[in-house]
Amino acid sequence: STFLLSDTQLQDEIFLDEIHSVLTSGLINNLYGKDELPPLYGRLRRRRAVEREATELWSLFVESIRTNLHIVLCASPVGTLLRTRCRKY
């Protein structure tokens, strides 16, 4: 899967922090609530045909994100904004 994001879509710098988090760790903190995790684990168990602990299933989920998610960030080279953002991250 590919996530395409242009610099004009960045309404707040916090979006870049979240993209940075995905690139470095493979996840966005607090993306899922505790009530949303059991259905996610159920789908992982059915898809992989495994019975594992919740922490192992979470690791499988994060690893599949790292493997399958590609992020494309498009930025205009005009002006100083691109240079400033590159220095931050």
Tokens 């919740």 sit at which residue?
54
Q: Across the strands, what pairs with 71?
A: 3
What does the pLDDT read at residue 35?
92
Confidence (pTM): 0.65
Distance, in Å, from the CA atom of 40 to the CA atom of 22, rounded to the nearest integer, reads 19
- Render pLDDT for 19-48 as a digit per residue (tens, 0 to 9): 888 888 877 777 888 899 999 888 888 877
